């Protein structure tokens, strides 16, 4: 029997697609805050367990096809470290100005996925965090590097390997068979930076293709994505972006309505440092073991006294 995930929250979004290149924010944390009337913080990762998508016409005639991707970030160690560091900077700056963020129950440290030009009603990201009062923070802010949570973090993170591919693998000893040894590798490539603290800016993607043509072929193609019942996709900060890459209109249509349903089984904070928790738990375990050993020693001493 599969593992039970519990209650599933449904986040519904409707977007009007007019051209290739349209971008739409999906703010799971913000939408769930409005639905549940309780603060669902941005400093979490959301457990995405399903996505339904389809398109309909705006009006009575026409249809079309769209192709695109859902972009998001997975909560890796480097990305979570970057978010915690940015939150710490904000907290310190607010303290300098005499503001205690804990006193305001409506405040949350919120940052969108990126600084792309967003289409439609989600163009303004609500309650967006800023350190200078003008430039809004984003997980990946290409236009303003000083407001990029990942970018600022990566400036202080050094990869373990910084050499060229020619020096990646050593050729070892010279032997009697050949004066210059081989490194036993072809097509030398640096596979990764070698530092888990790097906050990668490469997006994870969920591609989709949708179609609705009632006036011509009467064809409807939607998207119903479900993972294994015991698994989920972790979406950092609950932030996703629907990017339209290609649009084709049929029957005189000039726009299509994109209907999305994102299913979330829960969320978990990324603000704690897992390494510190492990150290605390191990120290408690050692203390319990030490107490148990002392208890055994006392018991053995008592038994020896009784024998005497």
Residue-wise pLDDT tens digits, 211-241 = 998 876 777 889 999 888 788 999 999 999 9
How many C-beta atoms lie closer than 10 Å to residue 265's C-beta?
Answer: 17
Half-sphere exposure of 174 (CA within 13 A, CB side): 3
Contacts with 151 (C-beta within 8 Å, 6 or more apart), sequence order: 140, 141, 145, 201
Pairing verdict, β 223-225 and 219-221: unpaired
Phi, psi of 23 (to 5 degrees): -130, 140
Residues β-bridged to residue 15: 258
Q: Which span out of 2-11, 97-106, 167-176, 178-187 was modeled with the highest average pLDDT?
A: 97-106
205 band by pLDDT with thresholds 50, 70 and 90: very high
Structure tokens at 38: 């309780």
Residue 157 CA from chain centroid, whole number: 19
pLDDT higher than threshold 70 for residue 54:
yes
The predicted pLDDT at position 273 comes to 72
Rounded to the nearest 10°, the torsion over CA 48, 49, 52, 53 is: 30
Residues β-bridged to residue 46: 235, 267
CA distances from 147 to 27, 61, 118 (A): 19, 45, 18
What does the alpha-carbon distance between residue 268 and residue 260 come to, in Å, rounded to a whole number? Answer: 23
- Please identify which residue in the block is written with the tokens 């002392």: 294
pLDDT higher than threshold 60 for residue 272:
yes
Say which residue, 18 or 179, is predicted with more confidence: 18
Q: Which of 261, 226, 264 is nearest to 52 (CA)?
A: 261
Element holding 256 (H helix, E strand)? strand 256-269
pTM above 0.85, yes or no: no
Whether 119 contacts 23, CB under 8 Å: yes
Distance from first CA to last CA of the chain, Å, rounded? Answer: 59
Contacts with 7 (C-beta within 8 Å, 6 or more apart), sequence order: 265, 266
Residue 34 CA from chain centroid, whole number: 21
For residue 145, give the 3-state DSSP assignment. helix
pLDDT higher than threshold 50 for residue 1:
no
pLDDT higher than threshold 50 for residue 88:
yes
Structure tokens at 180: 């210059």
């Amino acid at each position: 029997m599969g593992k039970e995930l519990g209650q599933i929250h449904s986040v519904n979004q409707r977007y009007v697609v007019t051209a290739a290149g349209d971008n739409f924010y999906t703010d799971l944390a913000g939408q769930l805050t409005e639905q549940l009337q309780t603060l669902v913080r941005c400093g979490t990762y959301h457990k995405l367990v399903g996505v339904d998508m389809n398109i309909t016409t705006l009006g009575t005639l026409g249809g079309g096809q769209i192709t695109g991707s859902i972009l998001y970030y997975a909560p890796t160690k480097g990305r979570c470290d970057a978010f915690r560091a940015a939150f710490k900077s904000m907290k310190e700056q607010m303290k300098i100005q005499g503001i205690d963020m804990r006193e305001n129950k409506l405040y949350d440290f919120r940052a969108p996925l990126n600084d792309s030009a967003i289409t439609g009603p989600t163009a303004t990201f609500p309650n967006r965090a800023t350190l200078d009062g003008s430039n809004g923070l984003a997980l990946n802010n290409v236009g303003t590097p000083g407001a990029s949570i990942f970018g600022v973090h990566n400036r202080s993170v050094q990869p373990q390997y910084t050499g060229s591919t020619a020096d990646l693998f050593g050729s070892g000893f010279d032997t009697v068979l050949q004066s210059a040894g081989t490194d036993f590798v072809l097509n030398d490539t640096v596979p990764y930076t070698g530092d888990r603290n790097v906050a990668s800016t490469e997006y994870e993607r969920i591609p989709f293709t949708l179609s609705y043509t009632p006036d011509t072929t009467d064809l409807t193609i939607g998207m119903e994505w479900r993972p294994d019942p015991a698994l989920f996709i972790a979406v950092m900060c609950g932030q996703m972006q629907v990017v339209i890459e290609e649009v084709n209109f049929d029957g005189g249509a000039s726009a299509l309505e994109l209907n999305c349903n994102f299913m979330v089984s829960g969320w978990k904070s990324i603000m704690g440092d897992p390494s510190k928790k492990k150290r605390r738990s191990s120290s408690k375990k050692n203390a319990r073991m030490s107490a148990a050993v002392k208890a055994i020693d006392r018991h053995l001493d008592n038994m020896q006294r009784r024998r005497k």
